[in-house]
């Protein structure tokens, strides 16, 4: 749905941490040892390292080729888009709550009697934020400024013992600029087609006709 649910701050003013609080991680699997891990940009991780010539799996020291990352990114984006189009619907009433893919000819009307309204469970806003999150992972500026959403909480048992210094992140970002840009272009391919990004003037000025 495209309604505004209650009061919300302007989209452009909220921070990335707030914006990305519900997004799913980008899970990569290593083509060599088939272990899988969450990729969170150029950060310290116990699963992977970003070295001067690319991304390396910590378990087997396999160095990913750009295509081995970008193809997984593309498939991950596409499964999110496909899940969005599966059109799961949820009722706003917490006592109703069963998920369905049935749509009434009145759209927002719940098919169980007496409920207030329904909406898409995976909203276009959630999908847009998910794409923006993937975009941020490969954004050189955000990597350098340490503005990425952390993968886990600091008190998590999995958290990496060694932290990367700001200086080394800057250097690594520059050394991997091409790799980051390749992957960013994959996210941009879909962001450029995303209807949420563009204001639908026709719809806003509908009332004037």
Partner 1 sequence: DPERYKFRTMRQSLSDAADVLDLQIETIAKIVQTHYDLSPSDFGDPSVQAQSEIHAVGRIVPDSTTTEEFLNMDSLALETSRMAGVGRRTRLDFTDIDEISLFCGQIVAIRGKNADGDSFKVNEVLPLPYPNSPVSTLDELQKCSAALEGKPLKTLVTNGPYFPCNSFDLHFLEQFTERVNSEIKPHVLIMFGPFIDVTNPMIAKGAIPHFPHLKHQPNTLDEVFTKVMVPILKKIRQDIQVILIPSTRDAISKHASYPQDSYNRKYLQLPKNFKCFVNPATFQLNEVFFGCSNVDTYKDMKEMTKGGNTSMRNRFDRVSEHILQQRRFYPVFPGGIKKKLLSTSNDGKKVYEHISGADLEVPYLGLTEFVGNFTPDIIIIPSEMHHFARVGQNVIMINPGRFIGHSGKPGTYAEISITGPDLENGNLTKVEGPEPTFLHNVWKRARVDIVTI
Distance CA 209, CA 201 (A): 12
User: Which of 24, 35, 146, 194 lies at the binding interface for partner 1 (CB under 8 A)?
Assistant: 194
Residue 92 engages partner 1 in binding (rule: CB under 8 A): no
Distance CA 31, CA 35 (A): 8
CA angle 161, 165, 169 (to 5 degrees): 110
Residue 205 engages partner 1 in binding (rule: CB under 8 A): no
Residues 117-156, mask of contacts with partner 1 (x by CB under 8 A): -xxx---x--xx----------------------------
What number of chain residues touch partner 1 (CB under 8 A)? 61
Distance CA 151, CA 39 (A): 8
User: Which of 34, 46, 53, 116 lies at the binding interface for partner 1 (CB under 8 A)?
Assistant: 34
Distance CA 36, CA 76 (A): 13
* Per-position b or e across 46-68, b if 16+ CB within 10 A of its CB: ebbbbeeebbbbeeeebebebeb
Residue 17 engages partner 1 in binding (rule: CB under 8 A): no
Alpha helices (runs of H) in 4-145, residue ranges in sequence order:
16-19, 66-85, 124-137, 140-144
Residue 83 engages partner 1 in binding (rule: CB under 8 A): yes
- Choose between 60 and 165: whose C-beta lies nearer to partner 1: 60
- Write out the residues near partner 1 by the rule CB under 8 A: 1-2, 28-31, 34, 64-72, 74-75, 78-79, 81-87, 89, 98-109, 111-112, 118-120, 124, 127-128, 182, 185-186, 189-190, 192-198, 200
């Amino acid at each position: 749905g495209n309604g505004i649910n209650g009061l919300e701050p302007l989209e452009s003013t909220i921070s990335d941490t707030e914006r990305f609080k519900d997004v799913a991680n980008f899970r990569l699997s290593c083509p060599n040892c088939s272990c899988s891990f969450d990729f969170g940009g150029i950060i310290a991780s116990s699963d992977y390292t970003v070295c001067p010539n690319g991304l390396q799996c910590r378990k087997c020291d396999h160095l990913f080729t750009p295509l081995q990352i970008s193809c997984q990114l593309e498939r991950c984006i596409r499964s999110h888009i496909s899940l969005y189009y599966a059109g799961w619907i949820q009722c706003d009433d917490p006592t109703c709550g069963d998920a369905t893919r049935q749509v009434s000819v009145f759209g927002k009307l719940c098919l169980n009697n007496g409920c207030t309204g329904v909406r898409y469970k995976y909203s276009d806003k959630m999908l847009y934020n998910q794409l923006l999150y993937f975009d941020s992972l490969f954004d050189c500026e955000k990597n350098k400024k340490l503005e990425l959403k952390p993968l886990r909480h600091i008190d998590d048992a999995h958290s990496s013992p060694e932290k990367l210094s700001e200086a080394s992140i800057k250097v690594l970002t520059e050394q991997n600029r091409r790799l980051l840009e390749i992957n960013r272009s994959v996210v941009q391919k879909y962001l450029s087609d995303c209807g949420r990004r563009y204001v639908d003037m026709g719809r806003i000025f509908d009332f004037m006709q």
